[in-house]
Structure 1
Amino acid sequence: APAETPMSPEDVEAAEKAVTEEEVAGPVLSEKEQKRLAAEKRREAKELERKAKDEQRRAKEKARQERLLLRESRRKGARVGAEADSAARADSLAHAQLLQAQRDSLAKLAQQEADTLLPAPADSVGGEQDSLVRKMFAYHNVRIFRDDFQAVCDSMTGFSLDSTLHMYVDPVLWNDNNQVTSKVVDIYTLNQKIDRAVFTGEPIMSQEVDTSHYNQIKGKVIESFFRDGAIYRTDVNGNGQTYYFMVEEDSTGNYISGFMTVECADISFYFKDQAVDEIVWRGKPVYSIYPMDKIPDSQPLTLPGFVWEGKRRPSKEQVFNRTFRPSERNEYDKLPRPEFPITQKINLAREQLVKENVWFDRNDPLSSEALEFIRSIGY
């Protein structure tokens, strides 16, 4: 066998450096292990913060006891009480500041370590959002009137965080002469105007041609888009069905010239001046066109589940001109206040303490030093 070639000093140094770097680098942690370590760090930070809060609570209790002793000493006229007040105030304030600094440093450290292990999601909600999240709940015979749309339903919820309204139980939405019915309606607003509406649960969108003929659209999900309060596009996704009456114009005015039925996968309707301007059928549409005088008796003119809900449409007067029952507060204020045995016992005991010079009712304003002491202990 050939003799082994001896390693040069440079090769030996390079090998030792590679081994050292490998030992320093250590094993690469998996994503699951990183998450576990981050969770442990957060738990440790919370435990330290809890201990700090307990320490602060004990400091407050100690300050309260000292305050009671101070009051007793002031009642007896001792000057030592004022000095104890100043010392207790200084100690309590310094202790509270120390605890606050410890909690801030621990929270910052835990957040930094968690951030190094787990990247923040791109779509996570930040901490700078408004702390006031308004919620609205309406029940039974809900009516909505706006210049750009009107709606009715049985129950509704609203959230200011994402500017949404959610309508349940026989909801109906109107925009001009367009009507949409479904089991659930989700309305999204932007700058105080309707921006988008999503209809799920056997949705049907209809448009009044005249009092006896209505254009109708049906699908699994209907999504309408609005611009400046007016509808400009509607998408029907899944099992699209269309009943459409074709309108023409002559010297006497507008008249219905034909009736068209279309079935396909998806449909898009484009509106102009609140009227259908363009229709796009997708997914191998199957259609039939009939002159009005040659529509077969077997061909219905309305889709299953269609109902024109014009009688339920609310007016401005129905929503804003409501009468309210007058307040009965003045009548109830005239009634005698109830008396409770425990209250009577407390009042008697208080009167006895006043007579014995144990309890003093004071209404004089607090000094600036006393107010500062109260704020320092968290009251």
Structure 2
Amino acid sequence: MNTAFSDNPAAGCAVGVDGSVLSVVVRQQDLDAMPTQTPGLTPSGRPTLKEGFATAPGITAIDLAVLTRLPDTQLLGFVTYGRWTRQAVESAPWHEPEDALRFLDIGQDVACSVTPTASGNFSSTIKPLDISRTAGLQDLLDHAQEDPDTPEPSLADLDIGLGANSTPRGRTPATGSDPYRIRTFAEWQSDTATSPISPRPEPAAPPPHREPPTSLIPGQTVVLPEEAWQGMLIAFTFAGADADLTLFLTGTDGRVADDQDFVFYNQPSAANGAARLLGKQDEGPHVTEKAAVHLTALPEHVQRVVVSINMDVDTGLTCAALTHAALHMDCATGAAWTFQPPADPNIRAMVIAELYRHHTDGQPIWKLRAIGQGWAQGLDGLARAHGVDIE
């Protein structure tokens, strides 16, 4: 993937992958002011992200963040971020350089420091985006190295290795000129044979022990550890029929403040990315659809996150058609919970669980409740019950 980004004028670096979603950071060259908008095409005429999708066919979306040094403070800051899906990028026309000017328009949850002024022009100064509520970006920024003399590679000088010194395709760069060049096996074997013999490394420490997930029954509640507030991964696994995962961000009354707090396949993100769907994919004999929720990043008016499913409306099937259905929820520390919803033949949509704010001894906490109750009317009944009108 880094090789795919190496011919981009700004250095790109893959920093992580979650399921079928890839995270990429781009280090824009230092600028004194916002430049005239230019198309983001590679020398071969392809948009950078499209080339990235071609390199990794299993990736369905790319979370992209652009980092640069701010002229006023001379510190690194993010000036653009968002999500671009394979479907959106591949369905857009990329025949002319001007086509790339619509790149921001096809993204999801896009934030950009270039904003229109009162006169209708674009701002000419660069201002950093507020990322205090986006833990992943804040963590990247906190660990970005500013010292050019540091012995470790840093985001501040990635463009040296991946930008100006990139080698045309099909030609082998000089040794050491490209830190991300893929070496052939013969070259690796030759280097290994001529290098001095190193002492045998100590055996790696065993991975930390993970407790099995806690199995919940309908109506059971658990207090979530604080680590779970920073990020929970939700996965609904099933077989036998098709179903969709949906999230409602509601108040204490169980209803959304507006339709923007409804997360479903046509609106896969809400609350500036604090709740979002991560895609559906086959995993052996089962299908898994995932979502991520960052509880501490949710706005105050969101008191509950309702985790629900609905059957494909066109099939007319009920939840009884689902087999091996289970909801899995876990956080970074390894704490995990699982719940098997009932296979009810009378309903076509179901609230499986909810995450909700609570207070204990005056201190705010988050709790998880397993539910497993639903509506015969399917998605329409489920949505209306939570304040969303389905047209």
TM class, shorter-chain normalised?
under 0.3
What is the TM-score with the length of structure 2 in the denominator? 0.21
What is the TM-score with the length of structure 1 in the denominator? 0.21
Structure number with higher helix proportion: 1
RCO higher in structure (CA 8 A, sep ≥6): 2
Structure (1 or 2) with the larger CA radius of gyration: 1
